[in-house]
Amino acid sequence: MVPRAVHDAAVADIVRRYRAVPDGRRVRLAKPTSNLFRFGAPPAELLDASALTGVVDVDPVARTAQVQGMATYETIVDATLAHGLMPLVVPQLKTITLGGAVTGLGIESSSFRHGLPHESVLELDVLTADGEVVTATPDGEHADLYAGFPNSYGTLGYALRLTVELQPVSRFVRLEHRRVPTDELAATIAETCDPGGDLDFVDGTVFGRDDQYLTLGTFTDDAAGRRPSDYTGQQVFYRSVGERSTDLLTARDYIWRWDTDWFWCSRAFGVQNPYVRRLWPRRYRRSDVYRRLVALDRRTRFTSRLRRLAGKPQEELVIQDVEIPVERLAEFLDVFHTEIGISPVWLCPVRLRGERTWPLYPMTPGELYVNVGFWSAVPEVPGRPDAHNRRIERLVADLDGHKSLYSTVHYGADEFWERYNGPVYRALKGRYDPRGRLGDLHTKVTG
């Protein structure tokens, strides 16, 4: 735990250093890892936030935690599990930070019940562009910043401390992998995501047009004599979905079931080959390690050069998460299978927790969406290097869906602000960043 006095000193130090940066100079938080898929950021003054990476307090009675903005979910989960608690929504990858999940977007298999990570934030301290620290709450003086901070990607300020709700955790999570026919998929998701039901977790894996599974998870303290599975060793979690009808994981292993192999993306590095896997140290079977390898490849263009030498077409990275209304899911997947052809694909149902809306990511309260996640590469269309990504953006719009901004974005400015509430964003910038020190959201995500 980080003593409150130590936290306060760290805040005072980062505020001092931020204020010392001359006007007109771009500022960016210095982070050892990133889960964004935008490479080659422009030069900037790096603001060291390494003193803001811990947990300040866990209150097991109130079921809340005070967390520094740059604390990773790995750090947060370690601190809260010690009290038999966890955040309501824990994004899949260990090095996602709480501040990052709130100023961006996060999601996981509890999102059909608990919504998005920012919905369980009770208050947050924000370092604004003017170098002031304000406390944003749902109903206080800075309620506009509280509502507008999600999906602002650091262009309205930086989260320094957040108070978040927690939920109790059992020792294990019992899983059922249920194969679902294509024509029943959307209806089955809607049925299983009944908020009055007993399930704690719901997500899905699509291996092909007619090969998809829903994974239903329930907390339990009774292992029923069964030994929990271990997918941090030789076994790969996503493969088990189609091989086992039931499974049992410890709560910690369930939370991080996708991180070991970055869902299924570790196969690009050969890590799922049994011989390579035995030689690849367990401590390096982590999403942040694989992401660094991707960043290195992007900087050196190694894969691109190899493909050129081999006479193969260049590839277009298609790395996206989109939210589709459940009743339009079949339409999305039909076009996706036909025109994009990536597999596997992850499905994660999500419903906002209450009636509050979040203006920069305007989902409809009460409506069930399905997050569709796909992270791979396809052959580039000659002369149209962004053709597949742009097709997905148009399709999402046609189906009244939404697209997360952590990856490549190809919207023009007018279209972008129509989808992400330009009037509200401009009002927030006028209040919290009138000099434009932290840049513009559209420019940041398309640059």
Asked whether residue 257 is assigned to any structural domain, the reply reads: no
- pLDDT for 433: 94
Q: Report yes or no on 147 lying in a domain.
A: yes
For 237, which DSSP code?
H
Helices 287-300 and 302-309 cross at an angle (nearest 10°) of 60
Q: Quick check: 159 and 145 in contact, CB under 8 A?
A: no
CATH number for the domain including 75?
3.30.465.10
Q: Cβ distance 324 to 185 under 8 Å?
A: no
Which pTM does this prediction carry?
0.95
Query: What pLDDT, on a 0 to 100 scale, did the predictor assign at position 402?
Result: 93
Nearest to 219 by CA among 320, 110, 297, 307: 110
Report the number of distinct structural domains present in the chain. 1
Q: What are phi and psi of 231, to 5 degrees?
A: -105, 20
- The CA-CA-CA angle for residues 26, 28, 32, to 5°, reads 150
> Which amino acid is located at 359 in the chain?
P
Confirm whether 391 is domain-assigned.
no
Q: What is the pLDDT, as a whole number, of residue 46?
A: 84
Residue 319 counted as domain residue:
no
* CB neighbour list of residue 343: distance below 8 Å, 6 or more residues apart: 206, 207, 208
Name the E strands within 221-340: 246-250, 315-325
State pLDDT tens for residues 100-153: 999 998 999 999 999 999 999 999 999 999 999 999 999 999 999 999 999 999
Residue matched to tokens 């009774």: 222
**pLDDT of the residue at 44:** 73
Task: Residue 53: name the closest of 35, 33, 37, 38 by CA.
Answer: 33
Q: 86 lies in a domain?
A: yes
Residue 92 lies in a domain: yes
- How many whole angstroms separate alpha carbon 99 and alpha carbon 393? 26
List the helix and strand counts (H, then E) for the chain. 16, 16
CA distance linking residue 266 with residue 260, whole number of Å: 8
Q: In this structure, are residues 73 and 89 in contact, taking their beta carbons and an 8 Å threshold?
A: no
Q: Which residues of the chain have a pLDDT value below 70?
A: 32, 35-43
Q: Which domain holds residue 24?
A: 4-169+426-441
Handedness of CA 98, 102, 107, 111 (dihedral sign): positive
Query: How confident is the model at residue 39, as a pLDDT?
Result: 62
The answer as to whether 51 is a domain residue is yes
Domain assignment of residue 265, yes or no? no
DSSP result, 162-210: EEEEEEE--SEEEEEEEE--GGGHHHHHHHHT-TTSS-SEEEEEEEETT
Q: SS3 for 25-71, per residue? A: CCEEEECCCCCCCCCCCCCCEEEECCCCCCEEEEECCCCEEEEECCC
Cα-flanking dihedrals φ and ψ of residue 55, to 5°?
-105, 125
CB 418 within 8 Å of CB 397: no
Please tell me the predicted confidence (pLDDT) of residue 30.
Answer: 80
